[in-house]
Amino acid sequence: MKDWIVAGVDLAVKRPSAYAIAKTSKTGYQCLKLGKINNSNLAKNISMANLIVVDAPLHPPYKGFRSLERKAQKYYGAKLLPGGMAGVRELSRVGYSLFVLMVEASRVVVETHPGSMRKTLGLAESTFDRDIVDAVIALSTGLCLLEGNAFIIEDTDGVMVLTGEECRSKILKIIKECLLLL
């Protein structure tokens, strides 16, 4: 595994966003920090990451489903909301702003959908804050991506990364380890 810093973000609009950060090395990874932060400070707090995996659309607001989302639904069974919904439109604006800032800073930024993976992987609801857990799942997705154990769905309107059964035990382990930081 490359020596990278990976961030997972569960982006929010009306409340603080959740984030989780880990450092990778040849021997594995180490969870560094996680928490919640206002969006005005989010970019600064995750800017050290080489790879940022975000639970939010990273494309300007749109109507209906993007072709990327249609592919995720068709091939992965992802349960996504249409971009025309008011809340999704605002989340898209915030996600796109973060995407632009991080790409300008030469970071790799992809989107994911922890809710779909939670169901696909049979992860039960947790007693922990769901936003924090989703940020850790996004982080785990990034770690799986670096190991070559993730599905990359690409289209002209974005890149989405999802994981499958092969990463289930790793995701559960990362969730346990990172949540110890709380």
DSSP state of 167: G
Quick check: helix, strand or coil at residue 73? helix
| Rounded (5°) CA angle 143-39-73 | 50
- At 176 the pLDDT is 87
Q: What values do phi and psi take at 161, rounded to 5?
A: -120, 130
Distances (CA, A) of 120 to 78, 114, 115: 9, 10, 9
Tell whether the torsion through CA atoms of 19, 103, 149 and 153 is positive or negative: positive
pTM (predicted TM-score): 0.93
Burial of 157 (0-12, 13-18, 19+ CB in 10 A): middle
- At 124 the pLDDT is 65
- At 67 the pLDDT is 86
Q: Which helix (H) or strand (E) holds 97?
A: helix 86-104
Spell out the domains of the chain, with CATH numbers in brackets. Answer: 5-179 (3.30.420)
Distance of CA 164 to the CA centre of its chain: 15
**Per-run averaged pLDDT (10 residues), the chain, 182 residues:** 90 96 93 95 96 93 83 84 81 94 95 82 72 94 93 90 85 89 85
Q: What values do phi and psi take at 147, rounded to 5?
A: -85, -5
- At 122 the pLDDT is 67
Q: Which two tokens stand for residue 1?
A: 């595994």
